Structure 1
């Protein structure tokens, strides 16, 4: 017996709604279950001190992930953030004796903005491939960082490193910076023109151009924002560890950022997304890393699990595309 067309349509709509709810609930449910698992395995996990420690551990990742998520929503990507993190840190470490704290901060942020500007011009202005340009930058900037400082830099001013361990109103300064970046990103995406324009670029760049959106300028601004945020994250990192190792700092950061963005529901093709869900993806990665440390898991186990999480995130992206 053939079902009526209306019945078939209703069945399809019901399946689509079920899939929609399942993919939407996957991330928060995973966070809850993971938290429960680590709490059962190690009672120290669900303590105020440890939760604050997790917030510090994910502060740099969150700072970079927020503008990077907006960039992916616009259909672009930056795979060089890990190397820019190292280069910015080395520039800062070399500058402290000559420029002081204020001058060093300004110069470091300027380096990040300049790299973002170059990426934006090459990708937005000259229509070069974002993957090729930023992969080239990943290798180039890591080499520059190691050329400028083959050995780790350390011994930064106490007034600067205070940012890495100091607290305000009971929360670490790094946590406050992270929350400020997240709040700024949410406000910009919700109330500013660039937020709407970024989504429009991800949906259809040609159509966005035809309705009057300045595609090149928007693309350049997004890459500059990622560069600035990465330089800020570099300052946060070296303030926390009081060192700037050119060879290891930021290694794998681009994969962590991309994992958090995909986990947060931003499709790699762009066109939609929520920064709050991306923030939840960052929290999930932080919980995972922290919990494995409390369980004394081996380093290679953590790497394998992180890789599986990235594959899972890619699978969720496919489900979302199938749903839509």
Structure 2
């Protein structure tokens, strides 16, 4: 006999997403259009990208509260480089390439710092990443003196506004990151080590898994993903505001991971589930707003969905 909680833990997100789509086709005006599809896809891309890194971290039994602040750092650094505020670079393509690479790597290094605190000093992940959650945005504000950086640089903004054969480039980038992460988690030894550490860290260590190394890598990857997401956000907005870029993103990413079926206690991680979780949360918000429900109420509904998802996970594990 199939346990209902186990069934919901496995397929609940997919069912919820399907029901939302059916509801909107039936009752939401102009839902079944390419414009609506593009709006929802582009709004969910940054959440998915950050949530992919978060999935790997949570898979080890950790958490990363710093992703929003790392987005702010990445978003603050890139314009400083391609606008020549640090070192003038005459070739705009070279300037953009350096800006992107440097910003993403810096975010990755900050992620590595999180991993270092967790792996080598055995600080609780929620405490270790809280350091950059607080200080990271302050670093971004100091970098820009608290000023808004505006720009019109199509060569850079392609990452957020460009299209390839009519498909938003950020959607293509999101899909590539999801596919790579899915392959790593499902088909590689490293992916199995992530799950082993989250399931029983001591047993994984005794079986020869380099626990510290794996933790360093997953937190670094989380930082890299946040760096990419930060670039997309500022590219879309044609500006970088250290006060707002990535604000609240850590909560959206954790919500996507939880709703998608990854155990917040570690030991199970699903990249496809995270993708579906992010899409479900985005579509819930869109559905409520499109039908006249205030955004504040949408936040309450999002919180209720997270609580329900975690409760179903717990019931499924106890079954």
TM-score w.r.t. the length of structure 2 is 0.92
Tell me if structure 1 keeps the 8 A contact 2:159–2:170.
Answer: yes
**Of 234-243 and 290-299, the range deviating more from structure 2:** 290-299
**Of 191-200 and 28-37, the range deviating more from structure 2:** 28-37
Cα root mean square deviation, aligned: 1.5
Q: Which has the larger radius of gyration?
A: 1
Tell me if structure 1 keeps the 8 A contact 2:111–2:223.
Answer: yes
Within a 5 Å distance, the mapping from 1:167-246 to structure 2 comes to: 167-246=163-242
Quick one: which of 226, 244, 250 aligns to 1:248? 244
Cα separation, 2, equivalents of 1:233 and 1:124: 25
Tell me if structure 2 keeps the 8 A contact 1:45–1:294.
Answer: no
**Of 309-318 and 257-266, the range deviating more from structure 2:** 309-318
Quick one: which of 118, 131, 136 aligns to 2:131? 136
3-state SS of 2:83 partner: helix
Partner residue, 1:32: 18
Tell me if structure 2 keeps the 8 A contact 1:67–1:222.
Answer: yes
Quick one: which of 265, 272, 282 aligns to 1:286? 282
Cα separation, 1, equivalents of 2:269 and 2:220: 20
Partner residue, 1:159: 155
**Of 274-283 and 33-42, the range deviating more from structure 2:** 33-42
Partner residue, 1:58: 44
Partner residue, 2:103: 108
Within a 5 Å distance, the mapping from 1:261-272 to structure 2 comes to: 261-272=257-268
Residue ranges of structure 1 left out of the alignment (5+ in a row): 1-13
**Of 222-231 and 26-35, the range deviating more from structure 2:** 26-35
Q: Deviations over 1:121-173 (max 9, x none)?
A: 11011111100011121011111222222122111412111222221122100
Tell me if structure 1 keeps the 8 A contact 2:197–2:204.
Answer: yes
Within a 5 Å distance, the mapping from 1:64-143 to structure 2 comes to: 64-98=50-84, 100-143=95-138
3-state SS of 1:58 partner: helix
Cα separation, 1, equivalents of 2:169 and 2:263: 32
Tell me if structure 2 keeps the 8 A contact 1:265–1:273.
Answer: yes
Tell me if structure 2 keeps the 8 A contact 1:201–1:215.
Answer: yes
**Of 88-97 and 39-48, the range deviating more from structure 2:** 39-48
Residue ranges of structure 2 left out of the alignment (5+ in a row): 90-94
TM-score w.r.t. the length of structure 1 is 0.91
Q: 1:269 to 1:34 in 2, by over 3 A?
A: same
